[in-house]
């Protein structure tokens, strides 16, 4: 009695095994030892960053950081902050489209594959960088998710300054939406035909936004971040999948990282990003894993109003990277592009898909 037996997990065994078979482990190489000196193990991972279509600058920033020895999660947060700071991106951070009352509420999550720790905030108001606040939740608390007033008070405690996030452009789009949402409310409707909605506003209503960025660094570690202003003109307090670990983001150093944009409720109902990572753990490539989870989402979204002309009337996009640096993306509907940077510059790539968009 008194002697404890350690229960070994597979990842513990693998870490220990590296010392014995270092030369045969993918991602590691052993230098020729000097006589009498131990072998020196060095990393040989090629960094990769994969993101949604609005992640061109984000992937470039992330690769710049990890190529200089930076951590994957630091790189992911630094990358998405570019969009959080951009008033032209009305789906993220400053300039994001507001809820139905004209208030910008932001959601974000982060996850670090090496430590398997995560942090998130939901319905956060008046703070431009929810990704940074989410990272602080991970680093400075033993909690994962803070929301609403509590998230704001936490951000203030750590020195974040409050500011009005509703830009004039976003306010005008919200005003147009209010005036045209119904001919039965108290607002005048200058254009009753829905086809007359400006293409720009139609795009925001139908496609939403968000940015997801997943990064493999030179040490072989994975990190990810998803940040968003959420569904345009949403019910106040609505929180989608972006700040929910396993739905809008999931990262595990043993298998890979995945994140999503699109209809958040569909991801919440299937724990979709977690499933993508699990499928990679079962041996599927990142693209095949994303396609499989797209199928799962469609199978569980049979509500009538979610379908039109025998195909889904909504879209979900998944972005994934495995521990070897293979990457992929898939969507329910065709026409999606994603961004990737594997050391050869950031570029757009066409995503795989289930249905041809009509």
Which are the catalytic amino acids? 210
C-beta of residue 323 within 8 angstroms of C-beta of residue 293: no
C-beta of residue 277 within 8 angstroms of C-beta of residue 255: yes
Which residues neighbour 33 within 8 Å (Cβ) at sequence distance 6 or greater?
39, 40
Residue indicated by tokens 């009695």 = 1
Q: Residue 143 and residue 160: Cα distance in Å, rounded?
A: 19
Q: Residue 57 and residue 64: Cα distance in Å, rounded?
A: 11
Q: Residue 201 and residue 342: Cα distance in Å, rounded?
A: 34
Question: 309 pairs with which residues across the strands?
Answer: none
Query: CA 337 → CA 129, 202, 299, distances in Å?
Result: 25, 19, 23
Nearest CA-CA partner of 262 in 195, 312, 214, 197: 312
Element (H, E) at 175: helix 168-180
Nearest CA-CA partner of 77 in 99, 92, 95, 96: 92
């Amino acid at each position: 009695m008194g002697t404890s037996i350690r229960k070994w997990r597979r990842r513990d065994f693998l870490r220990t095994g590296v010392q014995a078979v270092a030369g045969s482990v993918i991602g590691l190489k052993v230098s020729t030892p000097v006589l009498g000196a131990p072998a020196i193990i060095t990393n040989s991972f090629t960094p990769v960053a994969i993101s949604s279509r609005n992640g061109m600058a984000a992937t470039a920033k992330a690769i710049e950081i990890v190529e200089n020895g930076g951590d994957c999660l630091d790189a992911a947060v630094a990358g998405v902050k570019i969009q959080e700071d951009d008033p032209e991106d009305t789906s993220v951070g400053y300039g994001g489209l507001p809820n139905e009352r004209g208030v910008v509420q932001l959601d974000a999550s982060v996850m670090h594959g090496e430590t398997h720790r995560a942090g998130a905030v939901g319905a956060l108001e008046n703070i431009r960088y929810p990704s940074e606040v989410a990272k602080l939740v991970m680093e400075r608390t033993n909690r994962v998710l803070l929301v609403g007033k509590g998230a704001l008070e936490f951000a203030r405690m750590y020195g974040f300054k409050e500011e009005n996030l509703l830009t004039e452009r976003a306010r005008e789009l919200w005003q147009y939406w209010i005036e045209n949402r119904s001919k039965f409310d108290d607002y005048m409707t200058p254009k009753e035909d829905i086809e007359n909605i400006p293409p720009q506003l139609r795009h925001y209503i139908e496609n939403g936004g968000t940015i997801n960025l997943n990064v493999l660094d030179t040490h072989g570690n994975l990190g990810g971040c998803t940040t968003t202003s959420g569904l345009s003109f949403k019910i106040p307090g609505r929180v989608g999948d972006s700040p929910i670990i396993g739905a809008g983001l999931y990262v595990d150093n043993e298998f890979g990282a995945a994140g999503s944009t699109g209809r958040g409720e569909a991801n919440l109902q299937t724990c979709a990003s977690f499933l993508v990572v699990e499928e990679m753990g079962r041996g599927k490539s990142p693209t095949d894993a994303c396609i499989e989870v797209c199928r799962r989402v469609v199978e569980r979204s049979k509500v009538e109003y979610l379908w039109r002309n025998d195909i889904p009337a909504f879209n979900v996009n998944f972005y994934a990277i495995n521990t070897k640096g293979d990457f992929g993306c898939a969507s329910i509907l065709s026409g999606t592009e994603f961004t990737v940077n594997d050391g050869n510059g950031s570029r757009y790539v066409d995503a795989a898909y289930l249905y041809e968009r009509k």
